[in-house]
Each structure stands twice: as structure tokens, then as C-alpha cells.
Structure 1
Amino acid sequence: MWSGLGYALLAGAMWGLVFVVPLLVPEYPAALLSAGRYLAFGLIALPLGFWDRRALAQLRRADWLMAIELALIGNLFYYLCLAGAIQRAGAPVPTMIIGALPVLIAIVANLRSGDQPRLPWARMAPSLLAIALGVLCVHHAETQTPGTTSGMSLRYLGGLALAGIALLCWTWYPLRNADWLRSHPQVRARSWATAQGLATLPLALLAYALLWLWFMHSGQGFAMPLGPRPLLFVALALAMGLLASWVGTLCWNAASQRLPPAIAGQLIVFETLAALSYAYLLRREWPSSLSLLGVALLLLGVFWTLRSKPPAASG
């Protein structure tokens, strides 16, 4: 149990890093950050793919197409939206929006349950209300903080919209991925994760090449291929690819093997807490009491939903 908690905490710490990278290099477009992160992840997956080549050789064309679909939406497009949201609205509010992930997954799972037992909707309503109030608290605190983007600006509102799209992508991904794994029990989770990393590599290369061409012909003067701070950009891309995309996933898998699903599902909030902690450390300030109240409401809403259980099937 304790080792499982430790692995879950480490996974959240790794995943939280990607929320502050857009703040460290705000002059880099979100699309370049996404392409750079997953280009690094794809390169890391190459030796892993060689190690697991026998299992990967068993995958069919349809399986690789699914890996590409998951990589495109759950990796590249998700982080494109998330990085863009953070650059426009700061880190705390988009982080809170992404923190509603467990509840949104529970709602979608309810809608897709068919004849299976569902979570009681009446018990999920208070969770949604608590999360909404939590996001509003942090939003209000952010708009009252000197130097932050005004909550009435189109740039800020665009950031919130991008955070919502990122949340939808990150909700779709685990459900779609779980459906595939359940229908292919002969494929190990490690091999499938490596396959997705390999599928990400050509997509990231293509995205990087298209961005390079765009900057060459748009006249914006962005210094491609590595931007105005190449060493920092490469270091951050490698850190995200290695720590967030690989180490974080390995730690989460290790936690999932050691903890009951009901507990593991709740501990995904470590990502939200880590991301918020990094954001405030970067600002060198303590969160306001209103922000702390918003975080508490978010955690309350998530835990309330995850503690609910479907009614037992009759008969």
C-alpha cells in the first residue's frame, strides 16, 4: 500500500511538470512545445521498441492505426490545447479545469454503461457543483491578482476554452485506450504504451516540419529549428518526454498494480496538486485563501464522486 502511494505521488509530480513548461518559455508557440515534447518521447520509445520488438510485431495494421489515433488526440492535440490554455490564462485555472477529469470520466462512463450498473446521478450532482465552485474561486482569485490576465479579455477566455478542449481530449483518451486494451487482452500494457510512443514519433516529426515551413514563409521571424533559447527548449522537451511521458506513466502503472482501483482513481489528483504547487513556486508566492478554498472544493468534488459505487445488479 505505502509503495503504491509513493509511486502515485511520484507520477503526479512528474505529470505536473508539463503545466509549468509553457510559463518557462512563453515566447514559444504551444504547437512547438507539443511537437517538441512528443518528438522527444518518440525518440525515447525507439530503444524500448527494439527491446519489445517481438510483441510489437504481433500488432496488426488496425492496431497501429488505433495507436496513431490515440497519439494524435491524446498526446499531440491534448498538449497543444493545454499549453495554449496556460499561456493565455496562466496555470492555476486551466489546471483546475483539468482536475475535473475523474468526474467527467465517471459521467461519460455512466452514459456509456448500457445495461451495466451506473453511478447514482444524484450523488454526482454535488460533485459537479463543488468542482464548479472551486474553479470559480480560483478564477476570481486569479483575476484579482496584480499582473495576471484580465478575466474579461478575449485572450483569457480563449485560454479557458482551450483548457475545456484539453479536458475533453484527456477524457476521451483513457476511455478509448481502455476499450482497446479490454478487447486485446493478449497485448501487454507496456508493449501498447511503447507502440503509442512509436506512433507519436512520425506525427511529431510531421508537426515539427510543418511548423518550420510555416515560420519560414509567414515572416514572423521565429528562430527555427530550436527557437530563441535552444538549450532551454531542448532540455524542457527532453524532460517532458522522459519524466512526464515515460517515468510518470511507469510510476502510475506501478501504483495501479499495488493499489485497489477505487484508491488509485482518487490519487490522480496528485497531478493537479503538483501542477498548482509548481505554478505558485514559479511565481514565488503563496496561494490566496480563496485559491486554497477552490482547491479544497475541487478535491471534495472528485473524492465524493470516486467514493460513490454503482448499485448492485439485481438477480
Structure 2
Amino acid sequence: MSMAEAGTHAGSGHNIPLGMLCGAGAGALWGLVFLAPQLVGTFTPLQLATGRYLAYGALSAILIAPRWNGLIQGMHRRNWLALFWLSLFGNTLYYILLSMAVQTGGIALTSLVIGFLPVAVTIIGSRDKGAVSLAALLPSLLLCAAGAACIGWQALAAPGATRQSMTGLLCALAALASWTAYAVGNTRCLARLPAVSGHDWNLLVGLMTGTQAILLLPLAVLDGHRLHSPEQWIRFGSVSLTVAIAASLFGNALWNRMSRLVPLTMTGQMILFETLFALLYGFLWEGRWPRMPEMAAFALIVLSVLTCVSVHQRQSARLRGLADCLPENGV
């Protein structure tokens, strides 16, 4: 990397401490989505996704209406197409797969697989110009993989593992692939649209996801064979609205803010906060303490994040030093 590139990268607006705080907040709110399928387990994953994103879309439409005319002036066809795919992979398809994984494999297994997301995103992000090299990130990635392996052993090698666990694993792996595509694509879209705030982008995604939910509504009505009582429908509506507000509105807004504050190679690491909070909520739901492999996983995942942060802080300090050495006229 040349000294000119170093100066550009150093001035890219990265703020790792604030980015970490936003990532932790997003993870705490997103961890709630792992509980929703358990709270309303009599409803199918398609119904859960449709209910959540109908609420998300309606709230987004209300909030974005005052700025709509000015906002769409800077949007082009490729931006709308990107919104469609991001909404599909990051919301609609992802949450259907996630709900299936939670209902068949449990919260711990599902959060384990999603915990592999940093590995996938970091490998992709390491190819960006000026990014931290994969070799420098290797210790962090190994710690992440070791933590995930601990929970995997607990979930799949335990005596209580069943065929349902394998089904849950496959659904969680598909959800992982879907969200990896979203995480990378969303970060790069935000980089291409500096004039669109993270909050407005989140509302546009919500609007597109709500449109997809409307199209899925007939299928959701026909999905499943159970009759639900009025109390169950009220509970379903309450959970859908809560998840839409907490996870989709506030969680996504914090994630978009974080995506502009940290490099892509670090974006994947921030999803580990969702893993940690999802596991915590799962233990509270099941009313038990974490087992020894799960405690080891907690420690390894936290070390993975701290190691990754340390690598990026060292690189940022080095780039700032290189930028300071450049003449003011750039010659």
C-alpha cells in the first residue's frame, strides 16, 4: 500500500470504539430475534417472518413519509435493486431460515452457527484494498472458530442430539450464508451512498422488506394447519411488533452506524455480540447456567473480538503515522 493510499485510508472516518459500542447495541437487540420463535412456537417460520416484516414495513413507511420526495431523488435503479436483494437475504429469507433453525435445533445451536459469520465476512473483507491482511487476522479467526466448535460439540455430540438437531444445523448454515451476503453487500452499499444516512437506509430496507412481506402474506395465511386462539394471535402480534421495533428499527440503525465506523474486516466480528446475547437470552429462557463448553465458547469469542480490535487499532495507528509524514500538499 502506497503512502497516498495510507493517508486516504487513515481519513476514512473509522472510529473503532464508537463502532464497537454500536455493534454491541445491535447485537443485544438482535439477540431477541432468537427468542421470538420460542415465544410463539405454534406459528410457522413463514408466519413469523411475515408478521415481523409487515410491522417493520408499516413503521418504516410512517417514519420515512416526511422525507420521501427528497430521499428518492438520489436513488437510482441499481440502488433499488440492491435494496431488494439486501431485504431478501438480510431479512425475509434469513429470518425464515433462522426461525426454522431455532424451532428444530434450539437457540444455542443456531447462535453457534451464526457465530461463524465473522470468519466468512472477514475472509471476504480481507480482499479489500487497504484492509488488514488475513494473516494478521488469523489468531482472531482461530479463536472464533474454537469458540464456535465448543458450542457445536455441546449441541451435536451431546447424548440428547437428534435428527432435528441436524435439520436445525442445516437451516442455520443456510441462514449463515444468507446473512453473510447481506453483511458484505450492505456495508458496500452504504459506502457508495454517503449522502444517505444509516437511519434512512434502514427505513428504505424496511419499506422493501415490508413489500416482500405483503407478497408473502397469502402463503403465510395458508401455511400451517393449526387454529390459533385470540390470545395466541395477540401474543403473536405483540412479539412481531416488539421484534420489529427493537431489532429491525433500532438494531439495524445501530448496525448501519457501526458499518460506517469500522472496516469491513471488523464488521463480521461485531456479529459476535449477537451470538453472545442470543446465548445469554437462551440460557435465561431455559432457566439454566451455561455448561463448561459453552462457558469456554464465551471466553474464546470475547478473546476473538478483542484480538481483532487490537489488530485494527495497530493498523489505524500505523496509517495515521504514515499520513502525518506526508507533505501537506500531497507531493
CA RMSD in angstroms comes to 3.2
Deviation digits for residues 133-176 of structure 1 (CA, Å, limit 9, x no counterpart): 32232233345778xxx43x332112112212212222211221
- The answer to whether 1:164 aligns with 2:180 is no
- The answer to whether 1:173 aligns with 2:182 is yes
Counterpart pick for 1:18 among 18, 28, 33: 33
Partners of 2:187 and 2:255 in 1: how far apart?
A: 15
Q: Residue 96 of structure 1 contacts residue 298 of structure 1 at CA under 8 Å; is this kept in 2?
A: no
**1:104 to partner: Cα distance:** 2.0
Of 86-95 and 102-111, the range deviating more from structure 2: 102-111
Q: Give the aligned partner of residue 287 of structure 1.
A: 290
Partner SS for 2:225:
coil
The residue type paired with residue 295 of structure 1 is: F
Partners of 1:296 and 1:127 in 2: how far apart?
A: 12
Partner SS for 1:12:
helix
Q: Residue 104 of structure 2 contacts residue 164 of structure 2 at CA under 8 Å; is this kept in 1?
A: yes
Q: Residue 33 of structure 2 contacts residue 243 of structure 2 at CA under 8 Å; is this kept in 1?
A: yes
**1:187 to partner: Cα distance:** 2.6
- The answer to whether 1:246 aligns with 2:261 is no
Q: Give the aligned partner of residue 54 of structure 1.
A: 69
Q: Give the % identical residues.
A: 32
Partners of 1:86 and 1:188 in 2: how far apart?
A: 33
**1:79 to partner: Cα distance:** 0.9
CA 1:199 to 1:32, structure 2 compared with 1: closer, same or farther past 3 Å?
Answer: same
CA 1:285 to 1:239, structure 2 compared with 1: closer, same or farther past 3 Å?
Answer: same
**1:231 to partner: Cα distance:** 1.0
**1:131 to partner: Cα distance:** 2.8
The residue type paired with residue 236 of structure 1 is: V
Q: Give the aligned partner of residue 78 of structure 1.
A: 94
Q: Give the aligned partner of residue 49 of structure 2.
A: 34
Partners of 2:255 and 2:187 in 1: how far apart?
A: 15
Partners of 1:14 and 1:134 in 2: how far apart?
A: 22
The residue type paired with residue 147 of structure 2 is: G
* TM-score, normalising length: structure 1: 0.82
**1:255 to partner: Cα distance:** 6.2
Deviation digits for residues 100-148 of structure 1 (CA, Å, limit 9, x no counterpart): 323321101124x3xx2453333444444333332232233345778xx
**1:78 to partner: Cα distance:** 0.8
CA 1:63 to 1:144, structure 2 compared with 1: closer, same or farther past 3 Å?
Answer: closer
Give the number of equivalent residue pairs. Answer: 300
Q: How does 1:103-142 map to 2 (within 5 A)?
A: 103-111=119-127, 113=128, 116-142=129-155
Q: Residue 4 of structure 1 contacts residue 255 of structure 1 at CA under 8 Å; is this kept in 2?
A: yes
- The answer to whether 1:94 aligns with 2:107 is no
Partners of 2:172 and 2:134 in 1: how far apart?
A: 25
**1:54 to partner: Cα distance:** 2.5
Q: Which runs of 5+ in 2 are unaligned?
A: 1-14, 327-331
Partner SS for 1:186:
coil
Q: Give the aligned partner of residue 194 of structure 1.
A: 203
Q: Residue 115 of structure 2 contacts residue 148 of structure 2 at CA under 8 Å; is this kept in 1?
A: no
Deviation digits for residues 277-311 of structure 1 (CA, Å, limit 9, x no counterpart): 11000111111122100221222234334433569
**1:260 to partner: Cα distance:** 6.3
Partners of 2:279 and 2:139 in 1: how far apart?
A: 23
Q: Residue 123 of structure 2 contacts residue 265 of structure 2 at CA under 8 Å; is this kept in 1?
A: no
Q: Residue 222 of structure 1 contacts residue 228 of structure 1 at CA under 8 Å; is this kept in 2?
A: no
Partners of 2:230 and 2:213 in 1: how far apart?
A: 17
**1:51 to partner: Cα distance:** 2.1
The residue type paired with residue 277 of structure 2 is: A
Partners of 1:245 and 1:83 in 2: how far apart?
A: 15
**1:8 to partner: Cα distance:** 4.8
**1:192 to partner: Cα distance:** 1.9
Q: Residue 38 of structure 2 contacts residue 102 of structure 2 at CA under 8 Å; is this kept in 1?
A: yes
- The answer to whether 1:229 aligns with 2:232 is yes
* TM-score, normalising length: structure 2: 0.78
Q: Which runs of 5+ in 1 are unaligned?
A: none
